[in-house]
Each structure stands twice: as C-alpha cells, then as structure tokens.
Amino acid sequence: MCSFPINIDSTASGTEIDYFDAGGALTRVFIHRVEQDTFTANGKTLVGIPFAFNIEILFDSNGNVTSSFGNGLYEKIPLPDGSLFVSAGRADFAAHPGVGFLLSPDKGNPGNIAGFCAALAP
C-alpha cells in the first residue's frame, strides 16, 4: 500500500447468516457488515466514513473453505485536499493469505492510493 507503516483502528457491526445442508453441515456464511476505519501514520490521522459491504464464505462437504470473497465498498475516506478516497469492487480473500485488512479490492475501483499515502506521508 504505502511505503511506511500505517495503524488501522476499525469499528464494525453487522449480521451473519449461516446456511446448512440437510445433514447439518455448514455450507455457506453470508456477512453484511458496516465498518468505519481510522488510519494514523507520521502524526497524521484520516477518519473514514462508515461503509457497507458483504462477505461470502463457501464450504465443501468436509467443512473446508472453498472460497471467501467480499463485494461492495472497501473504503470511503475524506482526504485533506478535499477529494474523497473511494474503493469498491470484489476481493478474493483467499488470494491474500495472512492479510488482515484490504484497502482496495482485487477487481473494481482501487481508489486514489497515491492521494491516500500522500495524506499520511511524513
């Protein structure tokens, strides 16, 4: 993302719906989430606008995750220059092992990463 570390604090709420087959095995999890993030780096802070997105996780008959993806807004942040950073689209979470946060989706609008990083740069 940026060439320097960024701290991210998130507040989220939402709903989860679990789907089971006739035998009681979990087959799908659907999550609708509303989140607001705050980014800090180099003594600067950016506070995002609350945004909504969906996450879907699918399981095989053995209970293993076969896909995990999100759709919707990924971030919405007013930048100091008066512009608005907006990233939206679809992300495959399995393609990002060990990553706990995505600022931009894999497909769709990644947002103005350069403007975001410039706003938090030293």
Task: Give the HSE-up count for residue 102: Cα atoms under 13 Å, Cβ half-sphere.
Answer: 26
pLDDT number for residue 101: 85
**Cα–chain center distance at 80:** 22
| pLDDT(1) > 90 | no
Mark residue 3 as left, alpha or beta (left: phi above 0; alpha: psi -120 to 50; beta: remaining): alpha
Q: Are strands 65-78 and 44-47 parallel, antiparallel or unpaired?
A: unpaired
Question: Are the C-beta atoms of residues 22 and 15 closer than 8 Å to each other?
Answer: no
pLDDT number for residue 104: 93
Residue found by looking up tokens 């030293």 in the block: 122
Q: What is the CA radius of gyration of the chain?
A: 16
Residue found by looking up tokens 């998130």 in the block: 10
Write the pLDDT tens digit of every residue in 37-95. Answer: 999 999 999 999 999 999 999 999 899 999 999 999 999 999 999 999 999 999 998 88
Q: For residue 4, give the 3-state DSSP assignment.
A: coil
Mark residue 81 as left, alpha or beta (left: phi above 0; alpha: psi -120 to 50; beta: remaining): alpha
